[in-house]
Amino acid sequence: MGRGLSELQKTVLRLAHENRERGTGARPLPDGGQLGTDVKYPEVLEAYFGWEPDSRPRSSRYFDFSKKDIGEKAYRSARASLSRGFSRLEARGLIVRTHGAMAAGWTGADLTEEGANEAAKLAARARSLSERMMD
């Protein structure tokens, strides 16, 4: 698989795995389609970059961050990093990017079978490390 996964990429996989485990990830529909997605961009922006959602009500969580509060340069840099991270995970066959129903661009990703396996391994390693630290 070449170089290892970045911390950003691991965060994407971890969040997608946790959402699936909680039942809040993508859910299959009887007609073969699906409802939802495993991980959304805003979740990663909150978890990895520590962004706080803008308190003003909006119609979409996708744009719930204030460029003014974050800073234009930091905002653009983080969004570019996130896009590259998702692209690299997709190139590795670990995710498939998704569009929201009302979005003009990518809004999240679903784990592939290989991605789900990799995410489960990451979760198991994290649990093992946590257990060793508690001993």
Domain positions in the chain are: 7-134
Residue with the larger pLDDT of the pair 30 and 87: 87
Residue 66 reports pLDDT greater than 90: no
Question: Which pLDDT tens digit goes with each residue over 50-60?
Answer: 998 876 665 55
Split at pLDDT 50, 70, 90, the class of 90 is very high
Determine contact, residues 103/60, Cβ cutoff 8 Å: yes
Domain spanning 7-134, CATH class: mainly alpha
Mean pLDDT value across the chain: 83
User: What is the distance between the alpha carbons of residues 70 and 54, in angstroms, rounded to a whole number?
Assistant: 10
Split at pLDDT 50, 70, 90, the class of 8 is very high
User: Which is nearest to 27 in space by CA: 13, 81, 19, 56?
Assistant: 19
Residue 135 reports pLDDT greater than 80: no
pLDDT (average), residues 74-90:
94
Determine contact, residues 109/37, Cβ cutoff 8 Å: yes
User: What is the distance between the alpha carbons of residues 120 and 108, in angstroms, rounded to a whole number?
Assistant: 19
Residue reference for tokens 């795995």: 17
Q: In angstroms, how far apart are the furthest CA atoms of the chain? A: 49
pLDDT (average), residues 30-37:
68
